[in-house]
Each structure stands twice: as C-alpha cells, then as structure tokens.
Structure 1
Amino acid sequence: MATGRPFEMVVFAASGFTGQHVAEEVARVASEEEMRGSLRWAVAGRSREKLQAVLDKVAAKLGKPELKSEVGIILCDVSDPSSLANMAKQTAVVLNCVGPYSIFGEPVVKACVENGASCVDISGEPQFLEGIYLNYNDEAEEKGVYIVGSCGFDSIPADMGVLFTKNNLKGTLTALESFLTINFGPEGACLHEGTWQSAIYVLAEQGKLKKIRRQIGHKPIPVIGAKLKRRGEVFYCNELQKYSVPFTESDPAVVTRTQRYLHTHLQETPVQYAAYFTAGGLGSVIKLMFVGLWFLIFAKFNCGRKLLIKYPEFFSRGYFRKEGPTEKQIEGTSFEMIFLGEGYSLGKDPQQGKPDVKICTRVKGPEPGYVATPRAMVQAGVTLLKDKSSLPKKGGVYTPGAVFSKTKFIDRLNKHGIEFSVISKPEA
C-alpha cells in the first residue's frame, strides 16, 4: 500500500447518513492508545459546508474541538473521476460510504486501484461485490492494494463468525448454520432508506449477478463431510426455541467466497454454510413474510421499484425511513448471531462417517446499521494499516474473511463491542 501520503485514512461520502457515523467512529479511534497521534485522516465529499458541519458535530459530541481544524477536507464528486483520483492519491485507505454501491461504488474502486489506495466498503450487494472482483482483481493485485467489500454488518459477523467457530473447534469444522436476532428497545427500530434502496437493486440485478458468476467461472466448492441439510422456508428452531426463516442477504455469498479462497489458496477444509433470521413468534413471522412478499412483487418491475424507492416507510411498515433511526432507537437496538456447527474430531477423516463433534458460538454487538457497521468498517481500515505483515502477500479484491483471516481483526472487534465467544464446545 501507498506510504508517504498526507493521510492514512479518508472517509468518502462523510456527509451522508452512514458516513457521519463512520467519521465519528474514526475520530473516536484516532484518540485511542494504538492510533493516538499517528492517524492522519480526512473527510471527503461534494460540499465543504456539509463536511465541515459533520466535523463540527463530531467535535461537539466527543468534546474534541481540535477536530475542526486537524481533520482534512477533500472535495470530490463520484461523477468526477479526476476528483476521485485526487482523493485516492492522498491516502492509504479509503472508507467508501457511498451507496447504493451498484450505482455509485465502482468509480471509487476504480480511482483507488488506479492510484494505489486500498478501499473498504460496507456493501451488501453481491452483484456489485462480485462484479468488482471480476473487473478489478488482477489490477489490484498488480498495484498491491486491497479492495475489501462487505465490511459492515453485511457481512463481518457472519464471515468472521465462521472463521472464529472454525478456529475454536478441536477438529475439522465442515458445516455451520447462523441464526440472526435483532433486539429492539422500547423505541423500536428502523433503518435509513439507503439500505432499503440497496436491497431493491440487489433483487433487480439478480440476472446480472448470474452473468457475472458465469464470467468468473469458479468451480463449485467441494462438499467435505456430511452434506448440510437446508431447513424450510419457515420453521421452528428447537435449539433456539424461535421461528426462523432463511436469511437471503449477502452473508451466504460472502462466506462462500471466503471459503473458496481459503480452500484454493491455503488448502483449508471448506465449511458448508446456511444463514437464517429468527423472527420470534408466529405472528412476527407472518408480518415478516407479508412485507417480504410485497417487496418481492414490486421489486420485479421498474414501476414497482420506483414506488418502493419513493415510499419506503409505507412498504416496509415503518422499518425503513428517509430520516433514518433516532438516537434513542439506535441506543436501544442490538444484535446477536448464534452459530451451530458440526464436524469431525481430531484424527478422524471427514470423508468417512458422520460428524461426531458440535460447537456453538456467538457474535453479538450494538445496533447493526449505524454503530456496529461503522465500528467494523473502521477496524477493517485500521487492520489494513497496522497488520500489514499478516495480510495476503498479494493485493486484490477480497472478502473480509479472506484478507483478515491471519490478522488481529477479531481481537480488534472484540475490543470495540462486537464480541465473539464460544457458548459451548466439546470437553477436552
């Protein structure tokens, strides 16, 4: 990665809803012992006034008036390649908060690759993530930069949770299920409309994703051990005593890419993976399915997508709003992801017989969209800066698990409130 540049880290689109939270988290981390006095950073975007307002707000909230003069401001526009190039030339790592990424993400990646800056994003859009791999992996490898997608709630808990579980099983982990639960406080919860729009584009471009995967031409990952049986569309999880449904976001795609990389490049046993969302009681399942049905129907057609984008609050039953969540809603929300894994004990051939060991782990943390996501994203950037010797020797387009598998990333997340733990494991 580039050295000798004015900044180590730049937050692009820092005046956006998520970008403001990321800028606040960078300011907080910059004052910690490991980074104090050494993290030179800047905010970037179209409007100097808005960027300065973000810094003023963060300075007031954290009681750090010096931020208003110490943090750099870079003016650039996603529609102006020369301005993006100018930004990329000034930093080692760009934290790319622009979205939806399918529309605005690629120009930022292109500028970073061409100008020697690594790039971290929080995209949950598989067609964007895998399209970036197809189009930029070779050049990123040549330039020695790391392009790391899905470094927010999509898909850090899932991708790193699989690796954590694998590393804590005394034997060979071959299959794993995750169950996500979102816990709401008395004020309820909601997300900003930008996340809603990203989900719309994911569904709208499913055909594009299939085409991208055909072009990449990866061979299927071999199934090691007993084949993982997929559960139903709606089922009661006896282990958690909750109704659950398949979790169709980007997590399974990201985990699959990580497992393929670890198997292909490091000769590790690939882990079969299935993701689910726990909806609590049957009434909650019915509400969730109702919203999902509306969403699926309207997202298939151009006019329907326009309505979904224009009226997010109506179609999501208030869960997605243009103004985003309130501070009280953010403070009262948290997440928990339980992993149920099985595999084969030490010395046992995973190609012979049934699994004979099980493990249960957990990743838990604060509100996923605007607390956990900024923390994960910033620690991803810090890890690229601080754990260089533990990164893959070659640059390229990576998933979090692929690029961070040998680093202190999970330790950093644990120290910042995204906690990984073993709930149960076989006795020694």
Structure 2
Amino acid sequence: MTGPGAKYDIIVWGASGFVGKLICEYLVSQYGGDPSVRWAMGGRSQSKLEEVRAGLGTAGEDIPIITGDASDAAALESIVQQTKVVLTTVGPYAKYGSKLVAACVKHGVGYVDLAGEAQWIRRMIDAHQEEAEKTGARIVPCCGFDSVPSDLGVFYLNNQVKKKTNAPCTRVKMRVKAMKGGASGGTIASMINMMEEMGRDKQVLEVMRDPYSLNPDGLRDGPKQPSGTPIEYDKDAHTWIAPFVMAGINTRVVQRTNALLDYAYGEEFLYDEAMMMGEGLTGRLSTYGLAGGLGGFVAAAAFGPTRNLMSRFLLPKPGEGPSKEQRENGFYNLVFIGTTSDDQTFVSRVTGDKDPGYGSTAKIISECAICLAKDITSEQTGGGIWTPAAAMGDQLVDRLEKNAGLTFEMEQVADQY
C-alpha cells in the first residue's frame, strides 16, 4: 500500500490531452508556488509532455515527467507506486482505463477520473470492490461535471435540510436552469463506445436501464424512480422540462452515494434530472425540439453505419475542444428542489464558472485529486469504489467553493427559479 512516503501527491495521467493540458495549467496557476502539493505529468509520449510543460512557462519548468504505455500493466504498476493519487483523463475508460484501475487497487493507490460510463464503472465495482477494501485503494470515478455538481448538490441540500428538520429530503429534483458549453470530444467518444457495447452485450443495456446499477452488491433495488426522459410541465420548478443528457450517469452516482452513506437520504429516496425549458408555448415547443434532437442523436448513434459516419465527420474527437474564449465564457446554474416526507420544500443552487465540460471540469477533478491526497484520511474514507460525495463530502465542497469557482447555496422557495 502506498503510504506517506510516496514521491508525489498526484500524477496527472494523460497530461498531453486537451483536458490534461487544462488540468496542468490549473495546477500551475493555483498551486505552482505551493511545495506541499507535489505532482507530476504522465503519459505515453515524452515529446508531447515536454511540449505541454514548455507551454506552462517558468512556473512549470521543473514539473517531473513520467512516461508509460496505458496497455502495459507492469509499467502502470511501477508508475502508480510513485504517487498517492492518480488523476487520469485517458478515455473512453472502458477501452483504456481498466488496467490502470487494477494497478491502483493492487497497490493501494488513490484514483480519480472523468468517467461517465456506467457500464464500465459497474465492471470496476464488481471486479475490484473487495480487493480495494483490503488494500486501502480509494477509487473515485465521475470527478468532473459528471457527476460532482449533481452528487455534491444533493449531498449539500440534504445536509442543510437535516440541520433544520432532522430529516432528509426524500425526493429531489435537479433542474438545469442555464448552461453554456459544449460536450467534450472525450464525452462523445465514451457515449459512442457505450452505444457499441449495448449493441454487442445485452447486459450493458440492462445496466443502463437500472437506476440502481451502480449500488453496492445486495443493494441494487429500491422504489421506482422518475422517468429518465421527461417531457412535461414541472409544477414544482414552474417550467417545461426536457431530458438532460448527463442524467443517465448522474442519477446512478447519486443513488450509489445514498447507499454508501447507509441511506442518508432514505431508503425510499427519489431523484431525477432535467433541463428547464421555460413556460408557456415557447417552453413547450423548446422542450419537444430538444427532446426530438436528443432522440434523433441516440437513434443515429445506436445504428452502426450512421454512428460511424457521425464519428468520422460530425462529432468532436477526443483531444478536441473549444477556444479559451469559449471556455472562459461558459457557466452552469443547477437548481435542486427537495421535498421531505412531511411535504416541506427546500431549494438549493449549485453554480460553476467556465464551460462545464472543459474549464470547470479541469478545476473540479484537480481539487478532487488534491482533496483525496491531502485532506481525506484513511480513517475517514477507507478502501473501496466510492463516489465524490461519499468519499470526500463537505471537505470537497469547501475546496470547490474556495478554489474552483463553484458555489453551493440555499434559497427561498419561489414562484420561479
């Protein structure tokens, strides 16, 4: 098990990729002069990593570089033993992440990633939960926009409500009030890979249909959850709502958190996510337009020939991303509407600066890695496959508010949000 004597606190694996570069830029700007945060850049190509390091200026000129092949299990084991936490951006994780997780589990090393692939996360839970508990490896997937704001948003809301009522919200709705920023090439690649897997393996389809598929073994059932594809008027949010593309992974992460925290939200907890589209005829038409577009994308992605055409000519590739100006101008505004068992309603809001898929995600996962390496002791969180909220909770909320441009706030119940 890797102990306090590890050479580094964090190795950024995949540092030469688009998001990897943003993470390195953030770490240099936020922690470049802080000797207590020891980190290194890792990846396959020495020359590409050196190019990234050169772009960081004088503050980054002494950052160590570690090279290795993601397909070489022995090399990965050697690399992970040098650090407390591996931060990896190399996806799709179902293709490139399994050996790295196995290496971290074997040697008791912490791990954070940007996975939004429920089918792969389920495989990692089934394959490594017991061993991780023994070795002390804290494995925390979903440490970007999917699914930290959702996971911590529900966690924060229920903690605040418990202080007032001594009971949690047993029903929470997350509604995307506003958001500016496109899906990352890596996210699109993961979605396409997931569609391919669903076509080959019916068990993958079952995982994607089951709202409790990421829960611990033996706890994979519960009350019927709300529809994952809502097209309706939400009286609580006072708006028409449409499906939110990240809901598929976010809702399962939130349900796993509830189970890992010994059902802190209650065994009958209900949770769903949707986009707020506005009121009246305009809102209704916008709802049907977005739902139709999303349905068309899913249908095309599910069919091999059109999926291949989309991948080749229409969709962003892994490693591609928006300009700095586009990233800087991005943001998100998420509303959480919670109801207790005695019908009291509470509202909270989570906001983030910069675009969700790149600028904000780079900051979020960086703070997740530092929090796991520096703040969370093994007594607080032992080995296992965790969620961000279950593993790091309030300490991560504090870090994100202090450093990463996120806010978590309670609000008054209102006629509109």
Q: Which residue of structure 2 lines up, in the alignment, with residue 413 of structure 1?
A: 400
Q: Which residue of structure 2 lines up, in the alignment, with residue 200 of structure 1?
A: 192
In 1, Cα distance between equivalents of 2:137 and 2:413? 38
Residues 3 and 132 (structure 1 numbering): CA distance in 2 closer, same or farther, change over 3 Å? Answer: same
The answer to whether the 8 A contact 2:11-2:87 is kept is yes
Q: Which residue of structure 1 lines up, in the alignment, with residue 22 of structure 2?
A: 21
Q: Which residue of structure 1 lines up, in the alignment, with residue 253 of structure 2?
A: 254
Equivalent of residue 134 in structure 2, options 137, 142, 150: 142
Deviations along 1:383-404, one digit per CA (max 9) or x if unpaired, are 1122233764420111112212
Residues 298 and 269 (structure 1 numbering): CA distance in 2 closer, same or farther, change over 3 Å? Answer: same
Q: Which amino acid aligns with 2:257?
A: T
Deviations along 1:115-173, one digit per CA (max 9) or x if unpaired, are 33211011111111121111111111111110000010000011111110001112222
In 2, Cα distance between equivalents of 1:391 and 1:214? 24
The answer to whether the 8 A contact 1:221-1:260 is kept is no
1:211 Cα deviation from its structure 2 partner: 6.1
Residues 268 and 282 (structure 1 numbering): CA distance in 2 closer, same or farther, change over 3 Å? Answer: closer
1:356 Cα deviation from its structure 2 partner: 3.0
Q: Which residue of structure 1 lines up, in the alignment, with residue 307 of structure 2?
A: 305
Would you say 1:328 and 2:330 are equivalent positions?
Answer: no
In 2, Cα distance between equivalents of 1:321 and 1:148? 22
Q: Which amino acid aligns with 2:171?
A: A
1:284 Cα deviation from its structure 2 partner: 3.8
Q: Which residue of structure 2 lines up, in the alignment, with residue 352 of structure 1?
A: none
Q: Which amino acid aligns with 1:235?
A: E
Equivalent pairs, count: 392
Residues 222 and 241 (structure 1 numbering): CA distance in 2 closer, same or farther, change over 3 Å? Answer: closer
Deviations along 1:372-417, one digit per CA (max 9) or x if unpaired, are 1111111111111222337644201111122123x41101111121
TM-score (norm 1): 0.84
Q: Which residue of structure 1 lines up, in the alignment, with residue 51 of structure 2?
A: 53
The answer to whether the 8 A contact 1:46-1:75 is kept is yes
Deviations along 1:338-357, one digit per CA (max 9) or x if unpaired, are 0000104xxxxxxxxxx231
1:242 Cα deviation from its structure 2 partner: 3.8
Q: Which residue of structure 2 lines up, in the alignment, with residue 67 of structure 1?
A: 60
Q: Which residue of structure 1 lines up, in the alignment, with residue 344 of structure 2?
A: 357
Q: Which residue of structure 2 lines up, in the alignment, with residue 349 of structure 1?
A: none
The answer to whether the 8 A contact 1:191-1:325 is kept is no
Unaligned runs of 5+ in 1: 60-64, 314-318, 345-354
Unaligned runs of 5+ in 2: 208-212
In 2, Cα distance between equivalents of 1:311 and 1:18? 22
The answer to whether the 8 A contact 1:153-1:373 is kept is yes
Residues 216 and 306 (structure 1 numbering): CA distance in 2 closer, same or farther, change over 3 Å? Answer: farther
Equivalent residue runs for 1:206-245 within 5 Å = 206=198, 207-209=202-204, 213=213, 217-222=217-222, 233-245=230-242
Deviations along 1:66-92, one digit per CA (max 9) or x if unpaired, are 411x21100011122222122101111
Equivalent residue runs for 1:71-220 within 5 Å = 71-169=63-161, 170-171=164-165, 172=167, 173-184=169-180, 189-206=181-198, 207-209=202-204, 213=213, 217-220=217-220
1:216 Cα deviation from its structure 2 partner: 6.7
Residues 2 and 29 (structure 1 numbering): CA distance in 2 closer, same or farther, change over 3 Å? Answer: farther
Residues 91 and 390 (structure 1 numbering): CA distance in 2 closer, same or farther, change over 3 Å? Answer: closer
Residues 294 and 229 (structure 1 numbering): CA distance in 2 closer, same or farther, change over 3 Å? Answer: closer
Would you say 1:263 and 2:262 are equivalent positions?
Answer: yes
1:261 Cα deviation from its structure 2 partner: 1.3
In 2, Cα distance between equivalents of 1:56 and 1:79? 27
Q: Which residue of structure 1 lines up, in the alignment, with residue 210 of structure 2?
A: none
